[in-house]
Amino acid sequence: MMAVAKSVRQRVARLRDEINYHNYRYYVLDDPEITDAEYDRLLRELQELEEKYPELVTTDSPTQRVGATPLKEFAEVHHEVPMLSLENAFSDEEVFDFDRRARERLNVAEIEYAVEPKLDGLAISLLYKEGVLSRAATRGDGTTGEDVTQNVRTIDAIPLRLLGKGYPGILEVRGEVIMTKAGFEKLNQLQRQHGAKLFANPRNAAAGSLRQLDPRITATRPLSFFSYGNGLVEQGELPSRHHQIMQKMKSWGIPVNPESSVVKGVEGCLAYYRKMQQKRDSLPYDIDGIVYKVDRLDQQEKLGFVARAPRWALAHKFPAQEEMTKLLAIDVQVGRTGALTPVARLQPVHVGGVVVSNATLHNQDEIDRLDVRVGDTVIVRRAGDVIPQIVSVVLSRRKGNPPRYKLPDTCPVCGSPTARLSGEVVTYCTGGLYCPAQRKQAIKHFASRRAMDIEGLGDKLVEQLVDEKLVNDVADLYDLTVEQVQQLERMGPKSAHNLIAALEKSKSTTLARFLYALGIHDVGETTAQTLASHFGSLEKIMHADEETLMAVPDIGPVVAESIIRFFRQKHNRKVIRKLQQAGIHWPTEKAKPSGKLPLQGKTFVLTGTLSKMTRDEAKAALQALGAKVTGSVSKKTDYVVAGENPGSKADKAEALGVTILDEKDFQALLDEHA
């Protein structure tokens, strides 16, 4: 026999050290550093080398054991029936090989398989004595686990006493403790609120929750459980097929995955795999593959075991949803509302069956939380159609001390200053009326019914006007000619004349509508009406300082800062001047700067048809007096204004004892406070 090359021995030693290190990170620290896919590759490489050079196999090799050393803080539990791992398959060909070997050993033409999703959680053993839960233990190294009985007792999905009858005197149930996607999001939201470390994924969160020394903490975590089989059975018998055993367990109150099934042959296995792969993202919990088990127990017994796994079961893994790659750069995109979004440019990598080269970084807070820097090795995740995102940074692979990344102070599209208001996570461009990235959205908002109400100027026409470079900002709308418009798709002479007429009509507006149409961040209809009523003129609003603005009812420091930033930009002021030069005007309003508005703090609901004004005009009149106008009646409603055919809102108001005003009473109220 030829001597094994030194380089092969060194590689085997290196692989063992690396796998043991990652086992420690995963099982002991609950802080994995690499993806499952990367771990699988390391283990498979070591398996292949040991198969090729069997003289290198040692008893302490990761291939000869199931897991890692259990935590010492918990009492140890010895598994009388070892909790083994499963062999993994990553291709259809490997599944065909598994089925062929099983059929040959059993000397049968076809095998029935019990199939179920491979849950991404923490394996657990539940020992029931006379139907009462007496002990719960983690898998640990497969022979020795950790006693987590008190923690498991806090999981509502796990029965403390079995239901019905007919169960063995001693029954060991095996399954997976998981955390649902919704539970995971809720938990991380709470972690974020308390400034605590966020969990990387539901599996990591489930493992960390179950290993809490204080069961009161575990009790607050949204853990769940599904059984996938059994271990020790004494003082009784179970059915002769796996799927029948699972149905029995279900009847005893033990959760069994509803997606479990029985199929015939390898084609049935692969059809189930494809079905669940399509369904994967809609499931309420994470799965990372499918488990195939020979259904008949006598056939399982005949097939037996290899060193670390049964020959009668196989885990068919899905394409990895997480992979490692390198962060090459961070670019900034400016959205249609002006929000700046940092985008990670990645070294292309296959994730979830597609090539990923970009991933969202959301905002500055997310960049700071991850501490992600250009040049880092990162873990990127993609689930279905969800935009890929960076999950974490592999700090052990960071070289040197690259600088932290900060979003730019100026917009990369138009050069306007960027801003991040107090209490907000989004950084945005302040050049709202000028920035090309926001152009289409700004025009659509400007033309909307509650703003300048330009009839006929819909979204598709706005898209055409901008794409044809006829309109660069909202003021350019008023320079359009019939000849220009009628050349556009689906726009004949009549439609063009109608649009120009609508533009002309829109020049006569109100100060409140004009302010709202400008699209100032945080300035909605009500705030625009409040500003117009308080100041009475656009010039006063444009030149107001923070103290003056905050004297206005319901205007706080955040809104005041938005208004000041908007009018500070010369680009925005230039567009406003162009709009005024185009002939946009409004009636002069009498300023009401002193104290509280007459209807401030009052809530109104409008219902039915008014004869002297539209609902929008009535709403604007109420808001000008400081009132709040809502769409539904409640105990907090002060008045319901009922026109003709008022409907159920008037009935509800009457039932709740809310004051109902007819149109005459409503007009009198407006006249009183005019």
Sign of CA dihedral 30, 35, 39, 40: positive
Who contacts 495 (Cβ-Cβ below 8 Å, separation ≥6)? 456, 485, 486
Of 598 and 595, more confident: 598
* 413 and 386 together in one domain: no
Quick one: DSSP state of residue 409?
S
* 313 and 326 together in one domain: no
Of 101 and 205, more confident: 101
Range of the domain at 417: 408-593
| Statement: residue 66 has pLDDT above 90 | no
* 354 and 308 together in one domain: no
Model pTM above 0.75? no
Mean pLDDT across 26-43: 79
What CATH number is attached to the domain comprising 326? 2.40.50.140
Longest CA pairwise span in the chain (Å): 108
Mean pLDDT across 655-668: 91
Query: Tens digit of pLDDT for each residue in 530-575?
Result: 899 889 999 999 999 999 998 887 788 888 988 998 999 888 999 9
> Per the domain annotation, does 70 fall within a domain?
no
Mean per-residue pLDDT of the chain:
89
CA-angle at 628, arms to 558 and 336, nearest 5°: 45
> Per the domain annotation, does 241 fall within a domain?
yes
Q: Which residue among the candidates 6, 52, 72, 118 is catalytic per the annotation? A: 118
* 332 and 475 together in one domain: no
Distance CA 103, CA 122 (A): 31
> Per the domain annotation, does 638 fall within a domain?
yes
Q: Of 55-59, 424-428, 600-604, 607-611, which gets the smallest average pLDDT?
A: 55-59
**Residue 374 near residue 330, CB atoms below 8 Å:** yes
Mean pLDDT across 461-483: 94
Question: What's residue 116's pLDDT?
Answer: 97
* 164 and 300 together in one domain: yes
Distance CA 506, CA 477 (A): 11
* 160 and 183 together in one domain: yes
What CATH number is attached to the domain comprising 254? 3.30.470.30
Give whole-number Cα distances, 508 to 51, 511, 525, in Å: 84, 10, 18
* 192 and 294 together in one domain: yes
**Residue 623 near residue 586, CB atoms below 8 Å:** no
> Per the domain annotation, does 402 fall within a domain?
no
| Active-site annotation holds for 118 | yes
> Per the domain annotation, does 32 fall within a domain?
yes
Instruction: Give CA 11 to chain center in angstroms.
Output: 40
| Statement: residue 601 has pLDDT above 90 | no
Sign of CA dihedral 251, 255, 259, 262: negative
| Statement: residue 595 has pLDDT above 80 | no
Distance CA 167, CA 619 (A): 68
Q: Where are the alpha helices (DSSP H) in 536-569?
A: 538-542, 546-550, 557-568
Q: Of 25-29, 51-55, 229-233, 266-270, which gets the smallest average pLDDT?
A: 25-29
| Statement: residue 421 has pLDDT above 70 | yes
What CATH number is attached to the domain comprising 438? 1.10.150.20
* 301 and 429 together in one domain: no
> Per the domain annotation, does 39 fall within a domain?
yes
> Per the domain annotation, does 403 fall within a domain?
no
Last residue of a domain, one of 593, 624, 652: 593
What CATH number is attached to the domain comprising 640? 3.40.50.10190
Q: Of 51-55, 68-72, 113-117, 353-357, which gets the smallest average pLDDT?
A: 68-72
> Per the domain annotation, does 222 fall within a domain?
yes
Q: CA nearest 420: which of 406, 434, 433?
A: 406
| Statement: residue 614 has pLDDT above 90 | no
pLDDT band for position 310 (cuts 50, 70, 90): very high
Question: What's residue 431's pLDDT?
Answer: 85
pLDDT band for position 1 (cuts 50, 70, 90): very low
- As for how many domains the chain has, the answer is 5
Neighbours of 58 (CB within 10 A): 11
Long-range contacts for 148-152 (Cβ within 8 Å, ≥24 apart)?
A: 148/74, 148/124, 148/210, 148/211, 150/215, 151/210, 151/211, 151/212, 151/215, 151/218, 152/124, 152/126, 152/177, 152/210
* 586 and 525 together in one domain: yes
* 55 and 83 together in one domain: no
pLDDT band for position 354 (cuts 50, 70, 90): confident
Q: Of 60-74, 304-318, 428-442, which gets the smallest average pLDDT?
A: 60-74
**Residue 309 near residue 140, CB atoms below 8 Å:** no
Assign 326 to helix, strand or coil: strand
Question: What's residue 28's pLDDT?
Answer: 52
Pick from 267-281, 415-429, 519-533 the range whose average pLDDT is largest. 267-281
- In the chain, % of residues over pLDDT 70: 95
Last residue of a domain, one of 536, 560, 593: 593
Last residue of a domain, one of 350, 368, 397: 397
| Statement: residue 70 has pLDDT above 70 | no
Question: What's residue 58's pLDDT?
Answer: 79
Mean pLDDT across 631-643: 91
* 572 and 627 together in one domain: no
pLDDT band for position 68 (cuts 50, 70, 90): very low
Distance CA 372, CA 347 (A): 15
Q: What are phi and psi of 539, to 5 degrees?
A: -60, -40
Quick one: DSSP state of residue 328?
E
* 215 and 296 together in one domain: yes
Of 483 and 33, more confident: 483
Pairing of strands 144-146, 132-138: unpaired
Query: Tens digit of pLDDT for each residue in 194-246?
Result: 888 788 788 888 988 888 888 888 888 999 999 999 999 999 999 999 999 99
For helices 557-568 and 570-581, angle between their N-to-C axes, nearest 10 degrees? 70
Question: What's residue 65's pLDDT?
Answer: 52
